[in-house]
Amino acid sequence: MHDDFYQVYLEELEMVPQCTAEEEAMLIRQILNGTEAGRSRLIEGNLKKVLSYAKDYADRGLPMNDLVQEANMALTALAMEYEEGDFQELLKQKVCNALEAAVEEQKREAEIEETVAARVNVLQKVSQVLAEELGREATVEELAEKMKMTADEVKDIMKTALDAVNVGNAMNMDLGPEDFEGEE
């Protein structure tokens, strides 16, 4: 599905002409003189450029759709706040910084997910061992003592595991719009 959107984007982008250096200079003068009309053309005319930057970050943990979105947002932000300097140099810097930040954020999220999954797995194993030893389900306090954690930390891990199960179940359900009527 994501690849379909990206492919459509690429096909539509084929029809958008890039800014020439002369056109870009004229558009920047218009923007600096307070004429807003050139801003959208400046953005449009640099979409292929930022796509090339986004492609440099492919295979680093984010889908191309996300990379293109980050690059386009950086381009738009620069066009909105531009005041002076080499536009192309600023564009490359802003886009690459945004892409780098997005890739790093994705890595952090993946590391957090791995840590949480590991904690859930340890809790499950400890729970099973204690249940066998005690002949019953262990209490939160017993689990906390065994894991050298506080009861609140164990509860947080349990809640995380339960939330993950609930999200997984919701994703597997065949829900229609009528299932959400009246929810806010």
Question: In the structure, what pLDDT confidence band is assigned to residue 161 with cuts at 50, 70 and 90?
Answer: confident
Asked, colleague to colleague, whether 2-106 and 109-172 share their fold, the answer is no
Distances (CA, A) of 31 to 35, 85, 163: 5, 13, 49
Torsion sign over Cα 53, 101, 57, 44: negative
What is the widest separation between alpha-carbon atoms in the chain? 80
- The closest of 59, 61, 72 to 12, measured between CA atoms, is 72
**pLDDT (tens digit, 9 = 90+) per residue, 56-85?**
999 898 999 999 999 999 999 999 999 999
Query: For position 170, what pLDDT does the model report?
Result: 58
Flag whether pLDDT at 163 surpasses 90: no
- The closest of 145, 141, 67 to 106, measured between CA atoms, is 67
**Predicted TM-score (pTM) of this structure:** 0.68
2-106 CATH: 1.20.120.1810
**pLDDT (tens digit, 9 = 90+) per residue, 97-119?**
999 999 999 999 888 888 888 88
Flag whether pLDDT at 121 surpasses 70: yes
Query: For position 71, what pLDDT does the model report?
Result: 97
Q: How many helices (H) and strands (E) does the chain have?
A: 8, 0
Contact between residue 131 and residue 96 where contact means Cβ atoms under 8 Å apart:
no
Flag whether pLDDT at 40 surpasses 50: yes
Boundaries of every domain in the chain: 2-106, 109-172
CATH fold of 109-172 reads: Arc Repressor Mutant, subunit A (1.10.10)
